[in-house]
Structure 1
Amino acid sequence: MRILDPPLDPAVRRWPPPEPKRLPELRQTVQEHQRTRFGLLNMAGALRRGSSSRYPHIAGAQDAAWATALVLCEQESQRLSDARLCYADEDMTGLAVAAGQTAPTEAITVDRLPSPSGLLVLAVPIGSYEREAGGSEVPEHILRDKPTPIVGVSWSLWSPAESLVKGGRPLASTTRSTPRRCCPWTRSARSGRVISEFCCRQPELMRDNERALFTGRHFPESGTLLGTTGAWAQIVYTAWQLMAQEGKHAWT
């Protein structure tokens, strides 16, 4: 994982930032994607690969990954429908990345949230990682790694709860909201046969992973290995702090 200080790696800057006026459109396409078969397949695949940090228990489910995907996609769709839309230009993003290299000293608090739920789209990535491009049907000799930029985040209040499946549909019962979850998003990046089959059905932004931030706890001290989602969550929390500033240093 790379957290990028400006100037950003040109290989990662292939993300063409949208105009802020397009945020409602982006939100709608991502939200609708969560309710499609392709969105559910993407989520179920991530669960089966072990690349999702959240895997709620679904009592009585014959296919645990598929049942859980139904729950998580429904939750993400609802999160986006209620989201406050935010946009960070290149300067704002660079400031958050630079400041986010130092762990916040305060205990994590819901007061830092700009809104109960939101979607923040970034003009430049806050980080990236290498993923294998090509897929299972591409000959091994042409497989290559390609940078996957992280260019947005959605968030909401969230609490762990046991989800039950009845009548083939998941019913999620939640407890009081105490921890906070933020879900980094990455620009779609596919190649080969996968593009021709699925690209037209995928939104411009795709879910990457998620992170729960528990109120009352602290971020690890600076210098601690955080992993990808931990480092990105620290940058996002720092961005929330900057968004809350007033006066001449206000993030507008």
Structure 2
Amino acid sequence: MPEWRSRAAEYMQDREYLLSAQMTIERGQYTVLPVVPSMRTTPQSQIAAQLLARGERFRLQQAHLYYVTADMTALALAAAATAPAEAVSADRMPAAAGLMVFAEPIGGYSMTQPGAETEVTVPIIAVSWGRWAADDITIDGDSRAVKWMSNTGGTIKRIPSGFEGIWMTFYTPNDNSMYEAMAPDAVVGIAPDGKPTTAADILSLGIKTPLTWDNETVLGFGAHFDPNPNPDTTAEWSATVYTAWQLITQGGTRLTETAEIPRPRSGRKRDVREGITDTGAVRVINVHSTHRPPPSASEQDAQASDGRRAPQYSCRWPVRLHRRDQCMNPAAHKSGDCHHEERVILPYIKGPQDAPLRVRENVNLWDHQPEQSAP
């Protein structure tokens, strides 16, 4: 993961990436976009690509590293089936800036590039984040020179000055495995010069970074999640990420446990040279051992997964989880001076952990006629 972070941060300065980001913006495939009206001699898409890349590079350089196991990914997806009800809070972030890689996709979508003959499934397997404000980026010291726009379902709105929240960037793997499975002459897109791009063309480019920026979103502090987000969207993915944060930071009964893999000294020195501030360990997040499903359940779910979309968790988490608004200071509840926290409550299943789940319906048997009540 430290290597992935370094290469992703470095790629934010690469001319190839900036041109690709510029074309993506020109196609309208963005969620958050900076606009600088004063610079009329330079294409807005070029300025936007540079500003977005600069911000993401900074977040990656500050990022704490987290790896989420397959069981933990499944638990987050199961809990996120009901969107978080609490208002978005900075207290839920496990770190002020981070990069989190999931063992299984937290979502995915299918797409066909203009002029392509082949549909491609794009999995979302990682997210970076950091605190963000609309006034953070300035031009010659003037934050008003940059206007931020949001694009949700084709509806473009201005992000107001003074907006503060959490920026999330979602990543897809750049492993080329889907192109290796295609016929070499399969057309997957159209290049800027109008020529068709084949699977063989993509494979010939090599891989400069294992992670590719797919999309982004901002969550305003104090805002609430859509209880019914559209599938395969940043709204759905961000609810899953926030739920994972809730599971990690939740007080009371511990639902997760963290193991740390130390960074070798040579790697820490290289991180410092590259401007990376968090040179510590990689934090591996797993379901707490007292709540973890048996390995056989994970294996069954893994066999049913295609590795490119969010996995089914029918074996690992067969009973719906729920959320509870819990008072943290009951003595002050009546006066209204208490503090409430949303808790994720795991299902409780009796019996040996390796035993199959058996759900029965209650049947009431009448072996005699009930007594007639008096009129």
User: TM-score range, shorter-chain basis?
Assistant: 0.7 to 0.9
Amino acid at match of 1:240: W
Amino acid at match of 1:207: W
Contact 2:135 / 2:162 at 8 angstroms: preserved in 1?
no
Superposition deviation, residue 161 in structure 1: 3.4
Residue among 134, 147, 157 paired with 1:160: 134
Q: Distance in 1 between matches of 2:86 and 2:220?
A: 13
Which protein has the larger Cα radius of gyration, Structure 1 or Structure 2? Answer: 2
Q: Distance in 1 between matches of 2:50 and 2:32?
A: 13
Over 4 Å off, 4+ runs: 162-166, 171-177
Q: Distance in 1 between matches of 2:139 and 2:37?
A: 6
Contact 2:103 / 2:125 at 8 angstroms: preserved in 1?
yes
Q: Which has the higher contact order (CA 8 A, sep 6+)?
A: 1
Q: Distance in 2 between matches of 1:152 and 1:232?
A: 10
Task: Report what 1:185 is aligned to.
Answer: 171
SS of equivalent to 1:60 = coil
Amino acid at match of 1:110: A
| TM-score, normalising length: structure 2 | 0.54
Amino acid at match of 2:234: T
Residues 25/211 of structure 1: CA separation in 2 closer, same or farther (3 Å cut): same
Residues 184/83 of structure 1: CA separation in 2 closer, same or farther (3 Å cut): same
Contact 1:108 / 1:218 at 8 angstroms: preserved in 2?
yes
Contact 1:162 / 1:172 at 8 angstroms: preserved in 2?
no
Task: Report what 2:244 is aligned to.
Answer: 239
Contact 2:22 / 2:48 at 8 angstroms: preserved in 1?
yes
Amino acid at match of 2:171: W
Pair 1:41-2:49 in alignment? no
| TM-score, normalising length: structure 1 | 0.78
Residue among 207, 215, 234 paired with 1:209: 215
Q: Distance in 2 between matches of 1:24 and 1:104?
A: 30
Residues 251/218 of structure 1: CA separation in 2 closer, same or farther (3 Å cut): farther
Superposition deviation, residue 107 in structure 1: 0.7
In structure 1, stretches of 5+ residues that fail to align are 1-22
Contact 1:57 / 1:162 at 8 angstroms: preserved in 2?
no
Residue among 9, 14, 24 paired with 2:2: 24
Amino acid at match of 2:249: A
SS of equivalent to 1:212 = strand
Task: Report what 2:97 is aligned to.
Answer: 117
Q: Distance in 1 between matches of 2:26 and 2:67?
A: 33
Task: Report what 1:194 is aligned to.
Answer: 202
Task: Report what 2:70 is aligned to.
Answer: 90
Q: Distance in 1 between matches of 2:93 and 2:77?
A: 18
Pair 1:126-2:106 in alignment? yes
Superposition deviation, residue 195 in structure 1: 2.9
Task: Report what 1:146 is aligned to.
Answer: 120
Q: Distance in 2 between matches of 1:119 and 1:177?
A: 23
Contact 1:82 / 1:117 at 8 angstroms: preserved in 2?
yes
Q: Distance in 1 between matches of 2:12 and 2:221?
A: 28
Superposition deviation, residue 165 in structure 1: 5.8
Q: Distance in 2 between matches of 1:83 and 1:176?
A: 24
Q: Distance in 2 between matches of 1:248 and 1:184?
A: 27
Amino acid at match of 2:99: L
Q: Distance in 2 between matches of 1:55 and 1:173?
A: 8
1:24-59 CA distances to partner (integer Å, 9 max, x unpaired)? Answer: 001001110001101111211221111111111123
Amino acid at match of 2:173: R
Q: Distance in 2 between matches of 1:176 and 1:251?
A: 37
SS of equivalent to 1:75 = helix
Residues 102/243 of structure 1: CA separation in 2 closer, same or farther (3 Å cut): same
Higher helix share: 1
Q: Matched residues, percent identical?
A: 32
Superposition deviation, residue 194 in structure 1: 3.0
SS of equivalent to 1:108 = coil
